[in-house]
Amino acid sequence: MPKPEPTNLPTNAYQHRNRAGEIYFLQSKPDARAKQRCFFARKLTGIPVPALPEGYEVRENPLSAQVTLRKHQPSRVTLDESNLLSKAIRQSCPGLLFIVDRERSALIVYTSDIEAESRLEFLGIIAPINDDQSDNLRDFMIAHAKYDPMLKFELQPGEPRCFAPYRWCFSGTIDDWIMIGDGPAPLNALAAEFTPHLDQESFFELM
Q: How far apart are CA 106 and CA 163, in angstroms?
A: 8
Output the CA angle 201-205-207, nearest 5 degrees.
Answer: 150
- Do 62 and 154 reside in the same domain of the chain? no
Last residue of a domain, one of 71, 91, 111: 71
Q: Determine contact, residues 167/148, Cβ cutoff 8 Å.
A: no
- Do 29 and 121 reside in the same domain of the chain? no
Instruction: Determine the pLDDT at residue 119.
Output: 61
- Do 42 and 90 reside in the same domain of the chain? no
- Do 27 and 92 reside in the same domain of the chain? no
Mark residue 32 as left, alpha or beta (left: phi above 0; alpha: psi -120 to 50; beta: remaining).
alpha
- Do 100 and 27 reside in the same domain of the chain? no
Q: Who contacts 172 (Cβ-Cβ below 8 Å, separation ≥6)? A: none
Q: Determine contact, residues 166/177, Cβ cutoff 8 Å.
A: yes
User: What is the domain range of residue 190?
Assistant: 79-205
Dihedral sign, CA of 55, 75, 91, 118?
Answer: negative
pLDDT in tens, 17-38: 999 999 999 999 998 888 899 9
- Do 21 and 116 reside in the same domain of the chain? no
- Do 86 and 51 reside in the same domain of the chain? no
Residue 126 pLDDT level (bands cut at 50, 70, 90): confident
- Do 52 and 96 reside in the same domain of the chain? no
- Do 67 and 153 reside in the same domain of the chain? no
Tally of structural domains, the chain: 2
With respect to residue 1, please indicate whether it lies within any of the assigned structural domains.
no
- The answer, as to whether pTM is greater than 0.85, is no
Residue 120 pLDDT level (bands cut at 50, 70, 90): low
Q: From residue 18, give the alpha-carbon distance in Å to each of 62, 65, 143.
A: 10, 6, 9
Instruction: Determine the pLDDT at residue 130.
Output: 76
Last residue of a domain, one of 71, 88, 103: 71
- Do 84 and 48 reside in the same domain of the chain? no
With respect to residue 8, please indicate whether it lies within any of the assigned structural domains.
no
With respect to residue 20, please indicate whether it lies within any of the assigned structural domains.
yes
For residue 136, what are the β-bridge partners?
Answer: none
- Go through the chain and tell me how many residues it has: 207
With respect to residue 3, please indicate whether it lies within any of the assigned structural domains.
no
With respect to residue 4, please indicate whether it lies within any of the assigned structural domains.
no
With respect to residue 44, please indicate whether it lies within any of the assigned structural domains.
yes
Residue 98 has pLDDT above 50, yes or no: yes
- Do 198 and 106 reside in the same domain of the chain? yes
- Do 186 and 85 reside in the same domain of the chain? yes
